[in-house]
C-alpha cells in the first residue's frame, strides 16, 4: 500500500512526532466509540456525566458510571494499536501522546509520555477537599472521601467542566514544534481537542490519519495521508515499517 509506505517515510524523517488519539483506538479492546453507528451516545443519555446533573443526582449518576465505566470498560485490555504506539515511543520515533480517552489503555500498553486531555478513570477526585485517590473498587462502590466525607467524582472532564490545564498546555505547546502528527480513531468534532491537528498543520506539520471512516480532518483536508481501516491492523504494520527501515531514506 503506497500510502503506508509514504506514511512510514514521513515518520522516519520526522525529528518530532506527536500522537493524537480518540475513542476509535479502543474499539478493538471492546470499548464503544461515542458517535456514529453503535456509538455510546446513541444508547445512553450523556447527562449522567454532565456536572450539574451529577451534583444534583449523584447516586443515579454513579450507578451509570459504575456500570459503564468501571464494570464494563474496566475489563478492557490494550490492543495491538496501543502496543504499536508504545513501541514507536520507546524507539524514540514519537514523543508526546495526547489522548482524549479516559480508559488508561495507552499507559497500560507501556506508553509513558501521555497527556490525558479529558482526564482519567484511574483516579477519583474529592469535590470538597480536592484529594485525588486511586479508583479502587471500595471507593467506586462507596464514592465518599475517606478524609472529609465529600462526594468523589471520577477525575474525568464532565460536560460543563474545564479541561485539565497541565495536559492542555503541554499539547498546545507541542503543536508549535512537531514535524508530524499521527491522528488515530477520532471524529475530530469535539472542541478544543480537535484544534490540535489543525494547529499542528498550520505550523507546517504533516498529518497522518488512521480511521475506519473519514473524519472532520479527512473531509476538511487537514490530513495529508489517510490510512483507512482498523487501527489494530494498520498501526502495527506502520510501526514495523518505520522501525525496520529506519535510516533507509537518508
Residue 125 Cβ, how far from ligand OAD at the closest point, in Å?
A: 15
User: Interacting stretch for ligand OAD, rule CB under 6 A, among 61-69, 167-175, 186-194, 198-206?
Assistant: 186-194
Size of the site for ligand OAD (CB under 6 A): 25
Instruction: Select the residue interacting with ligand OAD from 55, 212, 225, 243 (CB under 6 A).
Output: 212
Per CB under 6 A, does 14 bind ligand OAD? no
Beta partners for residue 208, in sequence order: 182, 225
Catalytic residue among 72, 82, 106, 118: 118
Nearest residue to 123 (alpha-carbon basis) of 162, 86, 70, 71 = 70
Q: Closer to ligand OAD at the Cβ: 145 or 157?
A: 157
Per CB under 6 A, does 100 bind ligand OAD? yes
Distances from the Cα of 165 to the Cαs of 6, 219, 221, 236, in angstroms? Answer: 35, 30, 29, 32
Q: Are 185 and 22 within 8 A, CB to CB? A: yes
User: Interacting stretch for ligand OAD, rule CB under 6 A, among 1-9, 32-40, 123-131, 201-209?
Assistant: 32-40
Task: Enter the DSSP assignment of 190.
Answer: S
Quick check: is 82 catalytic?
Answer: no
| Radius of gyration of the chain measured on its C-alpha atoms | 19
Instruction: Select the residue interacting with ligand OAD from 157, 196, 222, 238 (CB under 6 A).
Output: 157
Beta partners for residue 182, in sequence order: 19, 208
Task: Give me the active site residues, please.
Answer: 118
Amino acid at each position: 500500500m503506497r500510502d503506508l509506505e509514504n506514511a512510514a517515510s514521513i515518520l522516519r524523517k520526522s525529528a518530532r512526532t506527536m500522537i493524537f488519539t480518540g475513542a476509535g483506538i479502543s474499539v478493538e479492546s471492546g470499548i464503544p466509540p461515542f458517535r456514529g453507528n453503535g456509538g455510546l451516545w446513541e444508547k445512553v443519555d450523556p447527562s449522567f456525566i454532565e456536572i450539574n446533573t451529577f451534583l444534583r443526582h449523584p447516586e443515579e449518576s454513579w450507578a451509570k458510571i459504575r456500570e459503564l465505566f468501571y464494570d464494563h470498560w474496566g475489563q478492557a485490555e490494550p490492543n495491538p494499536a496501543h502496543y504499536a504506539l508504545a513501541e514507536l515511543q520507546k524507539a524514540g520515533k514519537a514523543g508526546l501522546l495526547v489522548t482524549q480517552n479516559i480508559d488508561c489503555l495507552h499507559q497500560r500498553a507501556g506508553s509513558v509520555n501521555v497527556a490525558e486531555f479529558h482526564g482519567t478513570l484511574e483516579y477519583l477526585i474529592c469535590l470538597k477537599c480536592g484529594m485525588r485517590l486511586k479508583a479502587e473498587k471500595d471507593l467506586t462502590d462507596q464514592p465518599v472521601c475517606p478524609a472529609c466525607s465529600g462526594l468523589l467524582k471520577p477525575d474525568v472532564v464532565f460536560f460543563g467542566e474545564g479541561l485539565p490545564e497541565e495536559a492542555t498546555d503541554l499539547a498546545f505547546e507541542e503543536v508549535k514544534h512537531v514535524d508530524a502528527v499521527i491522528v488515530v480513531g477520532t471524529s475530530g468534532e469535539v472542541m478544543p481537542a480537535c484544534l490540535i491537528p489543525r494547529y499542528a498543520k498550520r505550523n507546517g506539520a504533516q498529518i497522518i490519519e488512521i480511521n475506519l471512516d473519514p473524519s472532520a480532518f479527512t473531509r476538511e483536508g487537514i490530513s495529508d495521508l489517510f490510512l483507512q481501516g482498523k487501527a489494530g491492523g494498520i498501526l502495527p504494520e506502520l510501526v514495523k515499517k518505520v522501525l525496520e527501515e529506519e535510516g533507509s531514506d537518508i
